[in-house]
């Protein structure tokens, strides 16, 4: 399998997995039942949900800008527009292939250093997983959901996060010391070099390591907490609009948010359709929400953030004067100039 074909295969797997999940869900819950559930929506509460969901993306852009700040002082508006373009592309491409577009958009429209940009995006994802795992672990203990397999899964994910920071620190140290790399890392470097046209690969790796450091992570923690706090209230008001908060409390909503958000990491259909529903329902049923109500809430919540990110993403593309064709063309130009890793352009 070549690197060029990997995104295609990942996308195909995501489409198959998401479609299979939706098929199985609709075999269990009739679409007519969902319509009946959604018809009872409280529109006033839904307005509050829309406000908090929209604000959560504004906070996420502020988080990314905070991680970028020490490397390049980007204008907040530019970071916000690139963020929305990335999420919009996620809504139309499977397997979250739009995530890389977010960084490419900022790089091509505002310049800077590609190593820092993509490093901070990777760091943001690790911070997201970290706070969700911490929250999930605390909730499982407090709510007495001591399922051995669930606790074990959280521990494994937490270990992967620690391993990420450890490997980043080791790579950064080796590059700065110009020490001979271990055989495994040498092979990895050679593999990456085959697919990159960077003029200075060592600098790119060093910049990637600097942007993913623990010191930089600390700068983003305040905005990380704010982002997830605001996101929580967006979900809360969606559940409240369907009258589900009468049977569950704030902690149960937080548990649903944690599990559903972790489910976004699984490749699926555009907007993570299918796997997101499965994760959302799993979290909701753990705290006693009926399957049909959980499925209705998942579609409603997802529909809102898809609508918000699609509208703002299209506006952002128009503002920046960027079309899909122009974005891909400019990526190709930058790649040929040796300014952008060739393998990154394969992902969008």
Task: Examine residue 142 and state whether it is found in any structural domain, yes or no.
Answer: yes
- Closest to 320 measured CA to CA, from 83, 60, 54: 83
Specify if 64 maps to a domain: yes
Is residue 222 a part of any domain in this protein? yes
- Residue 207: its pLDDT value, please? 59
The pLDDT score that the predictor gives to residue 21 is 78
Which parts of the chain have pLDDT scores under 70? 1-14, 95, 97, 146-212, 267, 326-348
Domain that holds residue 236: 13-21+30-345
Distance of CA 163 to the CA centre of its chain: 19
CA atoms within 13 A on the CB side of 95: 15
Q: Can you give the pLDDT at residue 192?
A: 38
Check residue 208 and give its pLDDT: 59
Taking the C-alpha atoms of residue 171 and residue 218, their distance in angstroms, rounded to an integer, is: 20
The pLDDT, as a whole number, for residue 1 is 45
Q: Judge whether 202 lies within some domain.
A: yes
Q: Output the pTM of the full model.
A: 0.80
**Residue 227 Cα distances to 69, 90, 270, 286, 302, angstroms:** 17, 19, 23, 25, 17
* Position 3 in a domain: no
pLDDT tens digit sequence for 129-166: 889 988 988 898 888 886 655 666 656 655 655 665 56
Domain count, the chain: 1
- Taking the C-alpha atoms of residue 281 and residue 278, their distance in angstroms, rounded to an integer, is 5
Asked, for residue 5, whether it belongs to a domain, the answer is no
In a domain, 6, yes or no: no
Res 22: pLDDT: 80
**pLDDT score of 147:** 63
pLDDT at 266: 73
């Amino acid at each position: 399998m070549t690197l060029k074909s990997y995104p295609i295969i990942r996308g195909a797997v995501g489409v198959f997995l998401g479609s299979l999940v939706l098929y199985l869900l609709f075999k269990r819950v009739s679409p007519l039942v969902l319509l009946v559930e959604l018809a009872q929506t409280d529109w006033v509460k839904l307005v509050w949900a829309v406000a908090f969901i929209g604000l959560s993306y504004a906070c996420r852009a502020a988080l990314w800008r905070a991680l970028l700040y020490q490397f390049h002082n980007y204008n907040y508006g530019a970071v916000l527009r690139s963020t929305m373009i990335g999420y919009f592309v996620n809504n139309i491409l499977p397997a979250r292939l739009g995530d890389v577009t977010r960084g490419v958009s900022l790089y091509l429209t505002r310049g800077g250093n590609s190593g820092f940009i993509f490093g901070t995006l990777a760091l943001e994802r690790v911070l997201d997983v970290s706070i969700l795992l911490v929250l999930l672990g605390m909730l499982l203990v407090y709510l007495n959901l001591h399922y051995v397999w669930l606790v074990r899964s959280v521990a494994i994910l937490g270990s992967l996060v620690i391993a990420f920071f450890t490997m980043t620190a080791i790579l950064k140290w080796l590059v700065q010391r110009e020490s001979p790399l271990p055989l495994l890392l040498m092979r990895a470097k050679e593999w990456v070099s085959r697919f990159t046209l960077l003029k200075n690969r060592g600098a790119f790796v060093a910049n990637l390591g600097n942007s993913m450091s623990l010191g930089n992570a600390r700068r983003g923690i305040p905005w990380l907490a704010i982002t997830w706090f605001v996101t929580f209230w967006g979900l809360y008001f969606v559940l409240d609009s369907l009258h589900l908060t009468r049977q569950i409390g704030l902690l149960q909503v937080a548990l649903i948010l944690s599990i559903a958000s972790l489910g976004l990491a699984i490749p699926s259909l555009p907007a993570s359709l299918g796997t997101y529903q499965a994760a959302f329902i799993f979290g909701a049923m753990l705290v006693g929400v009926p399957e049909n109500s959980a499925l209705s809430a998942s579609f409603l919540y997802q529909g809102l953030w898809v609508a918000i990110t699609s509208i703002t993403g299209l506006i952002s593309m128009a503002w920046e004067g960027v079309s899909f064709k122009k974005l891909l063309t400019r990526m190709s130009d930058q790649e040929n100039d040796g300014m952008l890793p060739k393998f990154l352009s394969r992902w969008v």
